[in-house]
Amino acid sequence: MSLANSYKRAELEADLPAAPEEITVQEQAKRDKIRSLTTAAFFDAPGNSKGYSPAPRLSFLKQHNLRITFISFTQINISEASVELTYTGTLRFGNTASDKLTLEGTIQLIKTRGTWKVDNDTYNAADISGLLNHPS
């Protein structure tokens, strides 16, 4: 669960960039961190946007840090080589009660050469895209 928590925070949390140029720097740092937490197959899958994090752009758009203020994982399948978890969480992007997004998803972890890695993550990412496309 610690890996899943680290991965979701690496993917979705961001400090408010001071200038638009910092968005690219933050995105690259996030890409490197996400790569280290995921399998190569998941990271490099065609059409997979996990190598890209919308968090720095959303943080800049909302002019606020993005933070996961709550996240809870539940094991639904477990073996020696894999773990499947469901999760719910709250992504905050402001100070008002409405400045939040509920996260809901399923994450798959597998053991590769003795190291746990994220191999799949399905969640309500379209809600985040909606905030980017319709910021108000």
**The predicted structure's pLDDT at residue 135:** 61
Are 8 and 68 in contact, with CB atoms under 8 Å apart?
Answer: yes
pLDDT, one tens digit for every residue, the chain (136 residues)? 899 999 999 999 999 999 989 998 998 888 899 999 999 999 887 666 555 678 999 999 999 999 999 999 999 999 999 999 999 999 999 999 999 999 999 999 999 899 999 999 999 988 888 888 776 6
Sheet containing strand 115-123, edge to edge, reads 67-78, 82-92, 100-112, 115-123
Are 72 and 80 in contact, with CB atoms under 8 Å apart?
Answer: no
Rounded to 5°, the CA angle 126-58-134 comes to: 55
Are 38 and 51 in contact, with CB atoms under 8 Å apart?
Answer: no
**The predicted structure's pLDDT at residue 54:** 84
What is the CB neighbour count within 10 angstroms for residue 2? 8
pTM of the full predicted structure? 0.90
**The predicted structure's pLDDT at residue 59:** 93
Residue 46 CB contacts under 8 Å (≥ 6 apart), including other chains: none
